[in-house]
Amino acid sequence: MPEYITKEQKRKFYRSRAWEELRLEALKRDNYECQHCKAEGIVTVDSIKQEGKRKETVLNVDHKYPIEDYPKLALVLDNLQTLCINHHNIKEGRTFDKIGKSKKKRIWDDEWW
């Protein structure tokens, strides 16, 4: 049973042919749309790169259950979802922590006073 704990293990996985194929399958299934944006009624698709400009939207194929903890689900289509970079970051907790904390604090203050 493969493990995906270290950077190297993950890197290898994300460069594998099996992943590349499944990833495309997931994108196709999701219509190349961010599934969280879709749930909010917004259509976010991969933007086309324009000459001399940065790509505005980048879609990620995300594991709902992270491969570190659920290596068995690494190549299960049902465990994949297409997310925009924004939602992917939120899910990974990269920006959520900050927002979550400040929100929490305000709510707490409101209740207190």
End-to-end CA distance of the chain: 54
Smallest separation (angstroms) from Zn ion to the CB of 22 = 20
Q: Which is nearer to Zn ion, 34 or 75 (CB)?
A: 34
Q: Which is nearer to Zn ion, 58 or 73 (CB)?
A: 58
Contact flag: residue 84 with Zn ion (CB under 5 A): yes
Q: Which amino acid is at 3?
A: E
Contact flag: residue 61 with Zn ion (CB under 5 A): no
Phi, psi (rounded to 5 degrees) for 103:
-65, -50
Contact flag: residue 74 with Zn ion (CB under 5 A): no
Stretch that binds Zn ion, among 5-13, 41-49, 57-65, 70-78 (CB under 5 A): 41-49
Sign for the CA dihedral angle at 100, 89, 33, 57 comes to positive
Instruction: Decide: 66 and 15 in contact? Cβ < 8 Å.
Output: no
**Residues binding Zn ion (CB under 5 A):** 34, 36-37, 44, 84, 87
